[in-house]
Amino acid sequence: MHKIDGMLYAGLLCEDSREMLNHTTELVLGMIKGQIIISLLLVVAAYATVLPLAAAYTLEIFGNANLDDAVNESDIAYAWDIIAGRVASTELADANRDGSVDEEDITQIEEIINESEESLSLKAFTIYDQSKIVNIPMPVEKIVILNLACAEAIRCLKAEDKVIGIGTSMTEGENKDFFPELSDLPAVGKWSDPDIEAILQLKPDVVIADLRTPDTEKLEDKLAGSGIAVLRMGFTYPDYSMPEMMALGMILGKKDEAAQFTDFAGNYIDLIEDRVSTIQESEKPRVYPIYYTSDNLWKTGSNGSIVDMLCGLAAGDNIAHNLTGGTGGMYPTVDPEWVVEENPQIIFTWSSPGGYSVDNDTQMQELWTRIVEAPELAEVDAVKDRQVHLMTTEVTSRPRWFVGLAYLAKWFYPDQFEDLDPEAVHKEYLEKFQGVGYQGTFVYPE
């Protein structure tokens, strides 16, 4: 299994952007309901300076006695060693959280492995609360999903049969084309402003929402006392999405499917990381990422944003990395003169027009032309060398963000990645994990 270290983030301006909370944070699954208490804690430590990207995360389930990325037979053996005094105890070895490690914890670990637990409890984070306990009855059979990234994650796990309600974004435009099997389900309002009465009428076990939006006052507070749990998940930030997928797999009884996805994505992440690991800072191309909105070419992404992380993973030197401004301090607007002074060698957008249902590149070509013909950028190396590239949010701000990473690596280092075909990676992902054929326009130029 490929393991991604990382951070937990809250959402940003739109559902496809997430705001970083911390470089080291936790997602805890705990429970104080019924006889079985299982607490899952996802601590994602910032190991990037000492470990490879796909090298380490700890799935801190209470029961994960040996502190690795799973609860399995090795945790039973480790717990017995603790009881016998052969190894030091760990916090997570106390599977039933009664303050001591004993045979009752062995039983608890066995039940986690056998998926016979009666309930799960999560300590989930949002931008508004440091943490929040979420109690979940197990097994989870009925879920409502509010946002697109969560819908795509559910598909990765082949858990669509559990979905009984959706946010209205899945019923609109190309999203309806991409999620045909979900788009006809009952809608429960916008992902940012859900219809609580509609949710209550459906009686789901769990509602899965974006990490930041809607406000807790619009969702958790209004569902309080209903018995419906709310999970906040994003699946978009490179440093966090893999352990998040594994957590969802555990919740939905789809651990094998989650592992298949993380293995698939991890193969390409590892490939890219290995090849760029020896590139010196002085050799990295200077890059100006554009968050294209409302004809604005001067909004960018800085430290903590999805695009900055992708740029870093592909060994690009984001000229905006140290800037602050905009939502969460990570989406500043810059002066054209500053861009000229920084003189980027590559320009790319990650929010271009296009998508699954767009069968031509007319709009993307128009945007590309606007950038290369912008008088403010005429003397910038990226424009003079025609190193301007466009991507859509589908391949940067969804569970398939690794596809966008593959494109960046190819654009930044075409010689090193001559054998990497991002479109083929995208095609395989859509067919294997989304159950749809490849179509649409996602990048320009091809």
Between helices 73-84 and 103-113, what is the axis angle to 10°?
A: 170
Q: DSSP character for 430?
A: I
* Cα(436)–Cα(205) distance, integer angstroms: 28
Question: Residues near 373 by Cβ (< 8 Å), separated by ≥ 6?
Answer: none
Question: Maximum CA pair distance of the chain?
Answer: 74
- Give residue limits of the domains in the chain: 9-263, 280-444
Which contiguous run of DSSP H or E holds residue 258?
helix 255-276
- Find, among 208, 311, 222, 201, the residue nearest to 251 by Cα: 208
Q: How far does Cα 186 stand from its chain's mean position?
A: 25
Residue-wise pLDDT tens digits, 120-139: 756 555 544 555 657 678 89
CATH 3.40.50.1980 holds for 9-263? yes
* Cα(155)–Cα(432) distance, integer angstroms: 10
* Cα(355)–Cα(177) distance, integer angstroms: 11
Tokens 């903590």 appear where?
304
Instruction: Write the DSSP string, 235-248.
Output: ---TTTHHHHHHHH
Beta carbons within 10 angstroms of residue 316's beta carbon: 28
Backbone CA torsion sign across 172, 176, 182, 184: positive
Half-sphere exposure of 423 (CA within 13 A, CB side): 9
Q: How far does Cα 149 stand from its chain's mean position?
A: 8
CATH 3.40.718.10 holds for 280-444? no
Answer whether 395's CB lies under 8 Å from 404's CB.
Answer: yes
Give the pLDDT of the chain (446 residues) as one tens digit per residue.
Answer: 443 333 233 333 333 333 332 333 333 333 333 333 333 334 333 333 334 444 456 665 778 889 887 889 999 999 999 999 999 998 888 888 788 999 999 998 898 899 998 777 565 555 445 556 576 788 999 999 999 999 999 999 999 999 999 999 999 888 999 999 999 999 999 999 999 999 999 999 999 998 878 988 999 999 999 999 999 888 988 877 888 888 899 899 999 999 999 999 999 999 999 999 999 999 999 999 999 876 789 999 999 888 999 999 999 999 999 999 988 788 999 999 999 999 999 999 988 889 999 999 999 999 999 999 999 999 999 999 999 999 999 999 899 999 999 999 999 999 999 999 999 999 999 999 999 999 999 999 98
Which contiguous run of DSSP H or E holds residue 112?
helix 103-113
pTM over 0.95: no
Answer whether 233's CB lies under 8 Å from 157's CB.
Answer: no
* Distance between first and last Cα of the chain: 32
Asked if the domains at 9-263 and 280-444 fall in one CATH topology, the answer is yes
Q: How far does Cα 251 stand from its chain's mean position?
A: 17
Instruction: Break the chain down into helix, strand, coil percent, rounded to 5.
Output: 35, 15, 45
Buried b (16+ CB within 10 A) or exposed e, 152-174: bbbbbbbbbebbbbbbbbbeeee
